Amino acid sequence: MSLRSLVRLIRLEHWVKNLFLFIPAFFAARLNEWAVLQHALLGFLSFSLVASSVYVLNDLVDAPQDRNHPDKQRRPIASSAISVRQGILVLVVLLFSGTAMAAWLNPAMLLFTLLYFVINVFYSFSLKHIAIVDISLIGLGFLLRVLAGGAVTGVEVSHWLIVMTFLLALILGLAKRRGEYIVATGGHTFRKALEGYNLPFLDMAITLCSTVAIVAYLMYCFSPEVTTRIGSNEIFYTAFFVIVGILRYLQLALVFNRTESPTRALLRDTFLQLTLLGWIGAFVWLLYIRKWMGY
């Protein structure tokens, strides 16, 4: 088992999804507190280890189907670069390390990480084959990341954050299924849930969720609760980045068919990266720099 195969097996690049753990503390303007930042970093590592154990479990279960996929057939277990026995060993080590760290950090953190793992066990063995249920569980997985972030940092998660996180996750999940559906209709069949989807439905669902997400974000920007907490009415300017970012992602999904892997799309698309950095930068100004300068 080579180091390169191990890194591919645990999907190190997918740890970017676990940055959602920083969101509660970030929007509470508390990431500049060392104790909060330290707990967020440790929570990120803990959740990432558990998430990687889930990826290993998925690869173990999906190996026969992945061998029929033009891209996934190169995964370590599907390609036999890592044996099933080695994969099981890696899974156990990751799960034990991640949950042990979570237990040390916070009982609630342990609860959310274990819940994430258990849900994904059911997802891997059966629920991922049920259309709509599969993408709903993807959305729940992102919600658990946010809730774990709130638990480990002691920050309350707002209802706005819950709604928008779930909507964003649905968009990513639907776009991923759309990419898989296009590959499947090209002669490669590898996921039973795709039988419950077709392109018109997926396109409509992505557009619907994107529209609702934009409306929800605008409501968030103009909410008296939010503007009072942030201390500024200028938050609506950040909606520019959200709208442009969603439009770019829709372009990648519906025009260029490049969203079978949302993580890969983010890591490789400069437009999306700049939009995300602009959005984060706007909130850094509103939540941290402006207050530090006394504005």
119 pLDDT above the threshold of 90: yes
* Environment class of 159 (CB within 10 Å of its CB; exposed 0-12, middle 13-18, buried 19+): exposed
Rg (CA), the chain: 20
- pLDDT tens digits for range 162-193: 999 999 999 988 888 888 777 766 645 556 66
Q: How many angstroms separate the CA atoms of 219 and 226, rounded?
A: 10
Q: How many angstroms separate the CA atoms of 116 and 98, rounded?
A: 12
DSSP state of 73: G
Query: What residue spans define the domains of the chain?
Result: 1-157, 160-295
Among 128, 5, 149, 109, CA closest to 61:
128
The Cβ of residue 70 has, within 10 Å, a number of other Cβ atoms equal to: 11
> In one letter, which amino acid is 105?
L
- pLDDT tens digits for range 234-276: 888 999 999 999 999 888 888 887 765 677 777 788 999 999 9
* Environment class of 226 (CB within 10 Å of its CB; exposed 0-12, middle 13-18, buried 19+): middle
All residues at 6 or more sequence positions from 183 whose CB lies less than 8 Å from its CB, including other chains: 69, 70, 71, 260
Specify the range with the lowest mean pLDDT, choosing from 69-73, 74-78, 175-179, 249-253.
Answer: 69-73
Mean pLDDT of 142-158: 92
- CA torsion sign for 215, 218, 224, 230 is positive
104 pLDDT above the threshold of 90: yes
Between the CA of residue 279 and those of 26, 242, 247, what are the distances in Å? Answer: 13, 7, 14
Q: Which H helix or E strand runs over 28?
A: none
CATH number attached to the domain at 1-157? 1.10.357.140
